[in-house]
Amino acid sequence: MKHFYIHLYRFIALLFVFGISLFLFKDDIPDATVGTTTTTSLQDSTFPVIHLKLGKFIVNTMHGYSSELDSGNIRESITPLDTTKTITVNISENALKIKKLDFKLYDLLNNKVLETNSLTAFDTDENYKIIKIKLSEILDTSTEYGLQITLTTNLSKKINFYTRVKYYESDFFLKEKLEFVENFHQATFDGGKSFDIINYLEPNAGDDSTFADVNINSSYQLITWGKLNPKILTNVVPVIKELNIETAAVEQKYYVQAKTSTGTETYFIKEFYRIRYSGNRMYLLNFKRTMEALFNPEFISIKKNELKIGISNATSLEILSSDKNRKFAFVRNGSLWYYNMPDNKLHKVFSYENKKNDLQNLETANFGEHDIKLLKLGNDGTISFLVYGYINSGDYEGRVGIVLYDYIPEDNRILERVYIPLSTTFEQLKQDLGEFCYVNNKNIFYFSLNDVVYAYNISSKRYELLTEDAAKDNFVMLKEAKCFVWSNAANSKYANNITILNLDTANSLVVSSKKKQSIIVLGTIDSNIVYGYVKNKDIYESTGGEIVRPAYKLVISDCDGNILREYKNKNIYVIGATVDNNVIRLTRVKKVNGKFKPTANDDIMNQKTSKKPSINITTRVTEKALTEKYISTGYMLKQKPSVDATEYIMVADNTTLHLKNTGSNSEKYYVYAYGGITASMANPSEAIQLADEQMGVVMDNKSHIVWERGGKYISKELSNITYPSNSPSSIKSCTNMLLQAAQQTISINELEGQSIISMLSKYLEQPVNLTGCTLDEVLYFVSNEKPVIGMLNNSHAVLITAYTSSTVTWMDPATMHSKTMPLANAENMFKNAGYVFVSYISN
């Protein structure tokens, strides 16, 4: 018995030691010890869909989110409110039963809840469960608020929906605007019989060869569908994207079918209208219609060895090939396809479409708020790919995230490897997710999100940050060479090294600068890196606050650090480099009397000749469908392939990766136009210029509306700004006066810094460099109670404080008097001075 207890105690002690060891060293245990794997089917979407009813109009289709998002970041729709402050909510329940509706009204500017309520008294009709929301809060007119609607199911599941609301005491002419959109849309299908649209168009001699991208400048024949004669399949619901008393932006999405030379095809259509109602007359400011054919395997051409893409805006598809181009994967309409040509098998690897393929599925499963990135295709057909955006079905339905999958062709199964949940929208995510992601054979997943670059070890479930400021011109990625390159300049204007990381081997190479010098990453060409060396004493700050790093020498090297070419000219410095095909275009300056002056630009030719891929996009033109696109396989196809679809996803335990902070450390500016985000930029001036061109809106990553086309008042005058006394310069005087307007009491002697931006940054949360914007564009800031500093030359600053429809007024510290002049004259003065402007977004 004694020996029994001795052995028992030893066993317990060993078990204890094993438990402690498992806890301490669990991250070092290889992935073979990861827990069980479960199998789940690719399910249909179950969430309800909401539409809002305003008067006689059904508007603003809304899809539900499983998690709560920041209302200020969601610009999917805006809902105008009249003096009744009442919204009728129509709910298509889908597979769920709704028992309760809660709503929250948000003050977006101050990020606080103004009103909440819970409602349970639903009405029903054939299509909807119906309930009315009536707001009681006092609202400021023409001000955006956030509205979150939460539906609770009979199983206590909560689903959140978001729109913005805007209140008007006077008529905002919604009926007239929506009727115009409805009439114009109908007239495009009946050849203008129901409504004369010719006078609203602005046709020019542009491209009339495709239905893929039609706009207000297209011909009447193209806008009215030529000989295609499509038939509408689904409901056409207007979604109000922007609204002011005079102007509105409206988007409509729907599906059509048409008979072409290859058979009956289905197309996804997106229409965008920007209109203005003034003086009892409607103006069409912009019209844009895009068209995308849905991929159909039946339309594969054996004779020409091609897969038909059809009518499409795609200039290139997401395509990967392997096994000497005999196998390839491609993405189309949010679905992933894999073609094994020797076996003549075509697999639909991943799709949110269900088997029924009915009209309801077209409207719900093809929500269109996700996309796919191909990462790797092996010779055995194994595919690594990302699905990112709104997850339309399955365990993560209603969430926005990134999922890394592997497709295993021998089992026709998908393996889920990493799931990253995010609190954002697909529109923002597609701008924030880096262009190139990669997973190597060592189970390391590389990706960049919101200008932070990650390396995640899937086996140990640990991640590290490679760099935290990839937007500051210090990070590039080379897809073909499979490497990332970054400098250590994230928190400083100086960088003494760059790191070149081989993603396949995880080996890194560091290139360093000499003492008292910096090294900067300028870009890439082919599979090579362009970087430059800068003397720290030459780095300076422009008047607008931009850090300028004049490089005295440029280097082109490969990812192994081998120098392929150097570029250096005496007393000539490079401040910017862009790549255009095989040419590096250099922006240069020359040092004159210790100061840098612009000089002639230069080009560096690259000798590498690009090989045309054997699998590529070709086009054909037919009488009815005009230009259509095809994937040319370069492989002899003997007969149409057999087609199947993946039905199951295998999910290993603990695939979820929670990132601690996915917000960007630096300012980012999103351009909203044509119904979505068209670009994101680190430079606010470039964002405003693009938004002006696209008749859109600029928002930053802090939910501020930075700029809005047509959003300024006809006239504005700011007052109670006084000149400082004993000022050493007009620049400091204007900086002081702008701070006055922002309620910052700072004496002129306290202002320190090389530039206006550096002086303002000490006292304002978000000063903004508007250099490059026109005078008309920066007057938006004056309209919003924020004066603008403008430079008349390199040293003479003025403060713009007022404008009318024909004049502009500024305060001039050099004369201590205000000056008013015609807008056109003032525009020329600021243009000749380089359009240098500074203001602020928030204080």
Using pLDDT thresholds of 50, 70 and 90, give the confidence band for residue 701. confident
> What integer is the mean pLDDT of 196-210?
87
* pLDDT exceeds 90 at position 305: yes
Return the amino acid letter for 151: L
Would you state the pLDDT for residue 421?
96
Would you state the pLDDT for residue 441?
92
Would you state the pLDDT for residue 359?
58
Would you state the pLDDT for residue 624?
95
* pLDDT exceeds 90 at position 628: yes
* pLDDT exceeds 60 at position 407: yes
> What integer is the mean pLDDT of 771-788?
96
CA distance 434 to 313: 22
DSSP line for 16-79: HHHHHHHHHHGGGS-GGG---EEEEE-PPP---EEEEEETTEEEEEEE-BSS---GGG--S-EE
* pLDDT exceeds 60 at position 126: yes
> What integer is the mean pLDDT of 426-452?
93
CA distance 829 to 228: 52
* pLDDT exceeds 70 at position 357: no
* Mean pLDDT taken over the chain: 89
Question: What length is written for the chain?
Answer: 843
Would you state the pLDDT for residue 31?
34
- What does the H/E/C string look like for 765-792? CEEEECCCCCHHHHHHHHHCCCCEEEEC
> What integer is the mean pLDDT of 220-242?
95
Residue bearing the bigger pLDDT, 2 or 32: 2
Query: In this structure, how many other beta carbons lie within 10 angstroms of the beta carbon of residue 833?
Result: 15
Would you state the pLDDT for residue 37?
63
* pLDDT exceeds 70 at position 25: no
* pLDDT exceeds 60 at position 135: yes
Query: Which regions of 168-278 does DSSP assign to beta strands (E)?
Result: 213-215, 231-232, 239-243, 247-260, 263-278
Residue bearing the bigger pLDDT, 368 or 708: 708
* pLDDT exceeds 60 at position 290: yes
Using pLDDT thresholds of 50, 70 and 90, give the confidence band for residue 29. very low
> What integer is the mean pLDDT of 320-335?
92
Give bridge partners of residue 332 from the DSSP assignment: 335
Would you state the pLDDT for residue 754?
80
Would you state the pLDDT for residue 354?
61
Would you state the pLDDT for residue 593?
86
> What integer is the mean pLDDT of 803-819?
96
Using pLDDT thresholds of 50, 70 and 90, give the confidence band for residue 24. very low
Residue bearing the bigger pLDDT, 231 or 204: 231
Would you state the pLDDT for residue 368?
76
* pLDDT exceeds 90 at position 10: no
> What integer is the mean pLDDT of 78-97?
94
pTM, two decimals, is 0.89
Using pLDDT thresholds of 50, 70 and 90, give the confidence band for residue 671. very high
Would you state the pLDDT for residue 23?
41
> What integer is the mean pLDDT of 544-556?
87
- What does the H/E/C string look like for 292-322? EECCCHHHCECCCCEEEEECCCCCCCCEEEE
Residue-wise pLDDT for 148-185, tens only, equals 999 999 999 999 999 999 999 999 999 999 999 999 99
* pLDDT exceeds 50 at position 33: no
Using pLDDT thresholds of 50, 70 and 90, give the confidence band for residue 200. very high
* pLDDT exceeds 60 at position 5: no
Strands 345-350 and 335-340: antiparallel
Which residues fall within 8 angstroms of residue 759, CB to CB, at 6 or more apart? 732, 735, 751, 752, 753
Contact 583, 603 (CB under 8 A): yes
Judged by average pLDDT, the poorest of 16-30, 56-70, 102-116, 135-149 is: 16-30
Would you state the pLDDT for residue 17?
43
Which residues fall within 8 angstroms of residue 422, CB to CB, at 6 or more apart? 400, 401, 402, 429, 659, 662
